[in-house]
Amino acid sequence: MKELKILYLYPDILELYGDFGNIQVLRYRLEQRGIKAIIDSYSIGDIAPDFTKYDLVFAGGGADQEQGILSQDLLKHKDNIKKAIDDGVFFLLICGAYQLFGKYYKGVEGNIIPGLEIFDYYTEAIEDRKKRCIGNIVIEANLNGNPTKIIGFENHGGQTYGVSSPFGNVLFGNGNQFGALDEGFFLNNVIATYLHGPLLSKNPELTDFIIKYCLDRKYDENITLEDLDDTFENQCREQLLYRFLNVS
């Protein structure tokens, strides 16, 4: 039986906006295909994991005030994380986790929370605490040459700059900053994005893209994933794309 090993970072701290649902969706789509999902979690106080031993690393979004504590802990694993990324382990990073993999996060008071500096984008909080990019969002990403519409929900005060290779073009919503043209960061085996929803719940193509990548890498093959019944997902996408973009 094939299996994928998933590392879920800080599930007790990065637990806002239902991001945990991404793990559930991954597990569901793996198990429906007879692939075992092994899900380990790591949080502050646990024994350090070896990131290179995993096929997929996932981290979600949390409250702004917890970014500092997380940054301190995450920095302890910097070299190991860097090695895992270079090895090709897939990283899916949402919102706060997206920000922490960049150079830094500059808070409202000008305080700097250091990032892992694995990528060279950086994030600055908007001065007015009440102003946030909040709402439904649709972007178009390129998954293995296929332009794919990705639907999610964004809720962030931080404005991310200096992204060299974005996850997608914004079709509806804000993106990396207020009114931005691009959203997120995507380079080889790393997708970092502001999209909650949870992200994978409404984007089965994206989920399968990640699953295929992980299986192909682990088992050195070019797998064709078995189709699943995505009736609800397709109905949902059709309804929402029509509502947000006026297209069917």
Q: For the CA atoms of the chain, what is the radius of gyration?
A: 17
Q: Which span sits near other proteins by CB under 8 A: 13-21, 47-55, 180-188, 217-225?
A: 13-21
Q: Is 108 among the residues that bind other proteins (CB under 8 A)?
A: no
Q: Is 208 among the residues that bind other proteins (CB under 8 A)?
A: no
Q: Is 246 among the residues that bind other proteins (CB under 8 A)?
A: no
Helix H or strand E segment including 175: none
Q: Between 22 and 61, how does the x/- string for binding to other proteins read (CB under 8 A)? A: --xx--x---------------------------------
Q: In the set 147, 235, 242, 245, which binds other proteins (CB under 8 A)?
A: 235
Q: Is 183 among the residues that bind other proteins (CB under 8 A)?
A: no
3-state SS assignment for residue 50: coil
Q: Which two tokens stand for residue 64?
A: 């702004």
Strand partners, 113: 105
Q: Between 55 and 94, how does the x/- string for binding to other proteins read (CB under 8 A)? A: -------xxxxx----------------------------
| φ, ψ of residue 146 in degrees (nearest 5) | -100, 115
Q: Which span sits near other proteins by CB under 8 A: 84-92, 160-168, 208-216, 233-241?
A: 233-241
Q: Is the dihedral of CA 233, 234, 237, 239 positive or negative?
A: negative
Q: Is 248 among the residues that bind other proteins (CB under 8 A)?
A: no
Compute the distance between CA of residue 55 and CA of residue 90 in angstroms, rounded to an integer.
Answer: 6
Longest CA–CA separation in the chain, Å: 52
The minimum distance between CB 53 and other proteins, in angstroms, equals 27
CA nearest 180: which of 230, 123, 223? 123
> Can 156 be counted among the known catalytic residues?
no
3-state SS assignment for residue 29: helix
Strand partners, 175: none
Q: Residues interacting with other proteins, by CB under 8 A?
A: 12, 15-21, 24-25, 28, 62-66, 134-136, 153, 155, 196-198, 201-202, 229, 231-233, 235-236, 239
